[in-house]
Structures are given as C-alpha cells and as structure tokens.
Amino acid sequence: MGSVNSNAEITLFIMSQTATKEPEVTLELALDHGLTEEEFEMIKDRLGRIPTFTELGVYSVMWSEHCSYKNSIIELKKLPRDGEHLLVGAGEENAGLVDIGEGLGCAFKIESHNHPSAIEPYEGAATGVGGIHRDIFTMGARPVASLNSLRFGSMDNPKVRYLLDGVVRGIGDYGNSFGIPVIGGEVYFDESYEGNPLVNAMSIGLVKEGETVSAISEGIGNPVIIVGASTGRDGIHGATFASEEISEESEAKRPSVQVGDPFTEKLLLEASLEVLKTGAVVGMQDMGAAGIACSTSEMTDKGGQGMKIDLDKVPAREDGMTAYELLLSESQERMLIVAEKGREQEVIDVYEKWDLHGVVIGEVVDTENVTYWKEGEIKADIPAEHLVLGGGAPQYVRETKKPGYLDEVQNFDVYSLDHPSDYADTIKKLLSSPNIASKRWVHEQYDTTVRTNTVTSPGASDSGVIRIKGTNRGLVAKTDCNGRYVYLNPKRGGQIAVIESARNVVCSGGKPMAITNCLNFGNPYKPEVYWTFKEALSGMGEACRALNTPVTGGNVSFYNENPNGAIFPSPIIGMLGLIEDVEKHTTTPAFKNDGDVILYVGADRTGLGGSEYLKTIHELTKGDAPALDIDFEVQLQEALLDAIKSGYVTAAHDISDGGLAITLAEMAIFGKKGASVSLDKLDGSDLEILFSEAQSGVVISIDRDNFNAVSEHFAKAGVPAVQLGAVAGSSLNIEGVGSLDIAEMTTLHESTIPQAMEA
C-alpha cells in the first residue's frame, strides 16, 4: 500500500509537471498511486512493457478497491443472485432490474458516498445522490423514488452536527432540484461512526419492458459520444481516495471530492430518456468513479470490441488538461453513448435541445483495446479486459481472524446489571434517544411528495410506498441495518439486516422481491475486519435464500475507519417489495380506530443483547445479537401478508429498536390515539417483553369483529397471536407499567433532533 497521504501529493505533483512532460513510471510512483508491488508487476507482465504515466493512472484507478471490488468480489459471488423476477443478473448492468408485472421493470440500487461526505458533507452527499440516480437512468429507467441510510457519531459532538447538517442539505438540495421524492430512510447515531459517517443513497426507477438500454459498446465504426457536462479537474482520484482509510491527512483531499450540479443532471435525465426514443443508441453508460477511463473500458469489455478515443475532442472546463486528467476526472453529470454509425446527429440534437454537450470523441474499432489519443499521440493503449471487474482486475481472498472482542461481548451477563424499576420513565428516555426520536427534522428538508406518487410519508411508516400510475400496484422499499447487531454477531446481524427490512416491507403490505446492498466495513487488510465481512455476507445470503429475495447488486465500501478503529460493520440492505393492490393493501403503523383490538404476533420476547435499552440506559453495546429463527420468521411474514391482503389489518408495526414498548408508543403517537394493553399473556419478565429486540415480532390492530377470524388465521399458520388490548383514549396505558400521555410522548419523540440541531 502506498503512503496514506500520497494521492493528494501526487495530484499536486501531476498538476505542476504534466503540462511539460509525463513523469517516469517507477515502482515508487506506482506505490504512490495506491497499487501494490505485486500489482505493478502484474501490469508490466500483462502489457509486456512498463506502462506510460497515463496508463498507470488508468490502472491505478480501475484496480482501486472502489472500481475493482478486488477484495470482495469472490465473497459477493457467493450471495444468491438468481430469481424468477430478475431481468438482469447481479453486476451485469449499472443496477438491478426486477420484473414487477404489467410490462414494467424496476431498476434499483444503493451506493455509498462515505469518504467524500466525511470531509465535504454537502457535496459528498449531493454527488452520492446524483451518482445513484445516474446509475438508474443510464439503463433507460426514470427515477421515481429515493431512500437513504445515514450513520453518524454521537450528536453531542459539534462536528457530528456539522456533518449531519451538511449531509442533509446536500441530499435535499440535489434531490429536491432533480425532482425525485425521498420516500424513506434511516439515521443512526453511534460513537463508532465518529469521523467516518456513512452516507448511502438508493434510487428506484421504472422502465417499460423492452425500453432498457445496456452499457455496451459494439459495432465497428460506431461513434462514441460524450454527453452532458464538460470535464474539469474535479474528483481526480476520487475512487482511489475512497479506497483508503480516512486519516488526519484526508482533509487535504478535499479536491478529490466532486461537485454536483442537480440542474445539469435533470437536463441529462430528460435528454437521455428522450434520446433512447430515437432508436439510435447502441449502449449507454454513466460516468461515475474513474470517469472516462471507467466508462470506456467497461463498455468496451462488455462488447468485446475495441475503442479509440481522441481526448482532444472532450469538452473541457479548463485549458491545458492532460490525458491523465481527462481520463481520471470525476466531473459529474456526464454519460458515454455508443450510437449507430450515421445517426450520431440525432443523438447530438437531443442533447443540444437540452443545452448539453453531445460530442463525438471516438469510435468502436476492431481491436480489444481502449486506446486514448491526445495531440496526435497515443497516451494509453490497454486491453479493456485488463481493467474491469470480473476480467483482468485482481481478485483476492484476504486473511481472516475472529475478532477477540466477540467472546467478551457475547458472554456479558445482562442480568448482572441494576435495572430501573420505573419502566414508564424508561420508555420516555428511549423515545427521546437520538436513534428512536423522530427524524422529522431530517426528512422535512427533503421533497417527499414530488411526482405525486408518495403514498406513505417517511417517518410514519415502516417503509416507503409509492403507487405506480396507470396500474393498481405499488412499490415498497426500505433501507435497514442495525450495525450494533452485526458488531455483536456478524452472521446473525447480517441475517437480521435482510430479515428486518423484509418484515418492514411486509408490514407496509408488500411482498419482498429482491435486495440491493451497500456493504460498509473497515479495512479489508485487517483479518478481523475481513472475518466479520465474510460472516456478515454469509448471514445475508442465508436470509436472502430463505426469503427468496436475491441480491441484484450494490456497492462495497471498505476502509471505513477512524483513528479509533473500524466502524460497526454495516451491511445496509435496500429491500424492494411489490404491493399488488396499493389502495387496499398499503398498511401503516398508526392506530386508526378506537376499539380496534391490538395483537402481538410472533416469537417470544427475550434477550436484551444489542438493544437500544442497553445503550440508552446503561451505555452498553453488549450481549449477543437478538434471537432469530429464520424459518419461523418466513412463516410470520407470509401469515402477516396474507392477513393484510385479506383486509384484516388496520395497522401494523414491526418491533425493532426499543422493543415492544416503543412499537406501541409509536403506533399511538402516529395515530394520535391511545391504547390500553396488558402484558400478562406474554411469557417472560416485563423488562424483556417491553425492551427486547428479539426478531420475528409485530404488533397489529384489527377490527374487533374480525378477532376470531384473525386468531384462526394465525393459528392455522402456526404463528402465535396474542391479544394485548385495544385502541382507546388519549394515553398509552400499559398494565403494571403506567400511563403515558400521547401529547407528552409526542413532544419527547419530536424534540430531540431539532433541539440538538437548532440550538
């Protein structure tokens, strides 16, 4: 590995030197580019010569962790990647594509922008949103909804509040201007994310069957066209920067952070969907990490024919940009199109209509190389296959070692603690803890209703629901992962991330279909980190198989560390589900009608390991991850979805952070209706019943007249359903615990974040 601060230095060096003469390529320079000695030897061996300086730049960025997945691809391939509804396989295109019926496909993907957001939160988050939407519309799908998943350190830290403010503004300003509603998401706080926040953004798009486009380059003589914004010096080596740990020197890499322009992206979206209607487009690929280098080599490798690019033709923002800079720039809002020969003007006309560049910069040629020319000279000439993921880019299996802390945390005896006796007071403390508190302050800064499809509003629903115009159907999506669980038990934590996101989707009335994931971990060269990574993935794989929700793609983000060590391992799941009848089946957590019977449906509520209760009350992240029986969970989800589709369920809410107590409190707060419940029919201590985060538990409300039918339904399915009480009054009364006034609970729930942020 190169020295940690090498990229900033090398970039400055390049900017001062390259105008005259390219530097000599040496092992030292290769190391400074983040390549290993072994990798530099591989490059020389495959090329049969020493690479040019420009080639070294291209290799280094294409073989960076961010582009090559070199330390993860072997493990990723073990995840279930097939399913009846998949229209393209995982990793084949820019995003997953699922058949949702009625002649429609849904493209969706989640991606991280952690490192840029750590040092430049506003632009880092904004360009994360821009990048993920481009992945969707480059396939021909129109983005219709977005979600996000954010992790920060403790809110007590002013730097954390600065990051949260910047990230939320960045997501908001980009998405609001681009015009895509945020329909859901999550925000977590834990010290482990101090200095290395996680910013994962997900986009969902719709496309008519047969109107998708592939990221392929083929047809000798076909023109290669760059469209969208011009190319500047921003974001050079962004992908390399994302492939190393954040350190004190990272601040110096602010120039590696791209700058977003949502207006141009909006034009690019409209023009790109319009250009596909011409029929002149052979293939289209967006430019994200590693810019022109990546898009040209990936499209070329896919088509198996070569590409010749004249870099002098690329519209540049600045004079004097070198081949190296033009190839590696990560300037945003650009795409590459291969068009049918003779029809390039049709493509250019559409982009010019939208006041964007459309410039032919090369053509498909009868070789297997990507060849980049500048000022009449070949600056780089590389077989495309060398560069790409799944091709010649390196693939490693890293050393693993079970982390020493695991036995210690898992054997912790929760019962040795001195537990409070006033549970009503505990519920109030949990309601105002930053993780459970309402995130209204966040999501009100996002446009959640544009495009007039949003059925449930973020914050008051287990997952985001949109209707699909022209059909009865709805899409439901959720991002989820409890990093605390994965830290305590990587495999079960991975299982729970998938299972819980599916349960959320079911609670909203949808059938889980497929997932996308964003795997946020520490440095893969640390054996403990890699062990955790492998374990978490195996857990995710098991859960995906059990639920029949294949993995359609996503993104791996390693090197999420700060000077104190790695973040909690955080495999964020983006679950997509389908609601057959969006008018009838969409279900929310809010209590609806006085007199409705409240039922607990699911497994025993035991174990306090990893709970928000332990964290908030005892400041501990200890114990084992919550109990989970995957087979039972599948049974529960199927029975619940059937009950919802039968019209029995007036409200449903998953039990997660904070346990049953918080689930009931939220149903009351959201519905502005009280309830009287008793815990007598549940086994175990009141402490665990109230605050355990054991899996496979849901609270539902039903019309009293349906009580017998519902009881019978769950009995037949082999899923315990226990009557807790009924919806009534203006407070939540829990027998033996006390009475909690809804107005007071609402104030507690709503105040924490605004008070911290507006102080």
Partner 1 sequence: MMPTFGVIVFPGSNCDHDAYHAMKHVMNAEVRFLWHKDTDLSGIDFLIVPGGFSYGDYLRSGAIARFSPIMQEVIKYAEKGGPVMGICNGFQILLESGLLPGSMMHNQKLRFVCKNVYLRCESTDSLFTNSLDKGQVFDIPVSHGEGNYFIEDDGLKSLHDNDQVLFRYCNEDGELTEEANFNGSVDHIAGICNTGRNVLGMMPHPERAMEGILGSEDGKPIFESILNALSVA
| Residue 479 C-beta: closest distance to partner 1, Å | 19
According to the binding rule CB under 8 A, does residue 122 interact with partner 1?
Answer: no
According to the binding rule CB under 8 A, does residue 467 interact with partner 1?
Answer: yes
How many Å is the maximal CA-CA distance in the chain? 84
According to the binding rule CB under 8 A, does residue 23 interact with partner 1?
Answer: no
Nearer to partner 1, 142 or 374 (CB): 142
Residues with Cβ within 8 Å of residue 422, at least 6 apart in sequence: 738
Give burial (CB, 10 Å; 0-12/13-18/19+) of 431. buried
According to the binding rule CB under 8 A, does residue 449 interact with partner 1?
Answer: yes
Query: Residues 160 to 189: which contact partner 1 by CB under 8 A?
Result: 169, 172-173, 176-179
According to the binding rule CB under 8 A, does residue 445 interact with partner 1?
Answer: yes
C-alpha separations of 657 from 112, 186, 436, 576 in Å: 23, 12, 7, 21
CA 315 – CA 195 distance, rounded (Å): 37
Nearer to partner 1, 265 or 480 (CB): 265
CA 464 – CA 289 distance, rounded (Å): 29
Provide the total of helices (H) and of strands (E) in the chain, helices listed first. 28, 27
Among 38, 82, 319, 355, binds partner 1 (CB under 8 A): 355
CA 331 – CA 289 distance, rounded (Å): 9
Closest CA to 423 of 107, 690, 173: 690
To 5 degrees, how large is the angle CA 37–CA 43–CA 45? Answer: 100
According to the binding rule CB under 8 A, does residue 578 interact with partner 1?
Answer: no
According to the binding rule CB under 8 A, does residue 448 interact with partner 1?
Answer: yes
| Residue 354 C-beta: closest distance to partner 1, Å | 7
Cα 718 from chain centroid (whole Å)? 34
Query: Residues 247 to 266: which contact partner 1 by CB under 8 A?
Result: 261-264, 266
According to the binding rule CB under 8 A, does residue 267 interact with partner 1?
Answer: yes
Query: How many CB atoms within 10 Å of residue 607?
Result: 19
Among 63, 446, 558, 648, binds partner 1 (CB under 8 A): 446
CA 311 – CA 377 distance, rounded (Å): 10
| Residue 751 C-beta: closest distance to partner 1, Å | 14
Residue with tokens 């279909």: 513
Query: How many CB atoms within 10 Å of residue 410?
Result: 14
| Residue 352 C-beta: closest distance to partner 1, Å | 11
Nearer to partner 1, 319 or 355 (CB): 355
Tell me the number of residues near partner 1 by CB under 8 A.
35
| Residue 440 C-beta: closest distance to partner 1, Å | 8
Q: Active-site residue numbers?
A: 66, 113
Nearer to partner 1, 209 or 583 (CB): 583
Helix residue spans in 306-450 (DSSP H)? 323-328, 344-353, 384-387, 405-410, 423-431, 440-443
Contact between residue 430 and residue 420 where contact means Cβ atoms under 8 Å apart: no
- Tell me 414's DSSP state: G
Site string for partner 1, 640-669 (x = CB under 8 A): ------------------------------
- Pairing relation of β-strands 377-383 and 369-374? antiparallel
Among 9, 99, 444, 686, binds partner 1 (CB under 8 A): 444
Among 196, 231, 438, 453, binds partner 1 (CB under 8 A): 453
Nearer to partner 1, 111 or 333 (CB): 333
| Residue 176 C-beta: closest distance to partner 1, Å | 6
Nearer to partner 1, 348 or 599 (CB): 348
| Residue 267 C-beta: closest distance to partner 1, Å | 5
Contact between residue 254 and residue 120 where contact means Cβ atoms under 8 Å apart: yes
Nearer to partner 1, 452 or 708 (CB): 452
Residue with tokens 């544009």: 450
According to the binding rule CB under 8 A, does residue 454 interact with partner 1?
Answer: yes
Closest CA to 270 of 148, 466, 169, 133: 133
CA 628 – CA 650 distance, rounded (Å): 26
| Residue 180 C-beta: closest distance to partner 1, Å | 8
- Tell me 588's DSSP state: -
Query: Does residue 338 come out as left (phi exceeding 0), alpha (psi in the -120 to 50 range) or beta?
Result: beta
**With CB under 8 A as the contact rule, which of the stretches 93-101, 364-372, 444-452, 501-509 interacts with partner 1?**
444-452
According to the binding rule CB under 8 A, does residue 464 interact with partner 1?
Answer: no
| Residue 469 C-beta: closest distance to partner 1, Å | 7
Among 457, 461, 517, 560, binds partner 1 (CB under 8 A): 457
| Residue 627 C-beta: closest distance to partner 1, Å | 37
Look at residue 426 and give its three-state secondary structure. helix
According to the binding rule CB under 8 A, does residue 742 interact with partner 1?
Answer: no
According to the binding rule CB under 8 A, does residue 447 interact with partner 1?
Answer: yes
Among 4, 50, 360, 450, binds partner 1 (CB under 8 A): 450
Q: What are phi and psi of 418, to 5 degrees?
A: -90, 105
Nearer to partner 1, 174 or 531 (CB): 174
Among 469, 672, 681, 704, binds partner 1 (CB under 8 A): 469
Residues forming contacts to partner 1 in the complex (CB under 8 A) are 169, 172-173, 176-179, 261-264, 266-267, 354-355, 443-455, 457, 467, 469, 582-583, 586, 758
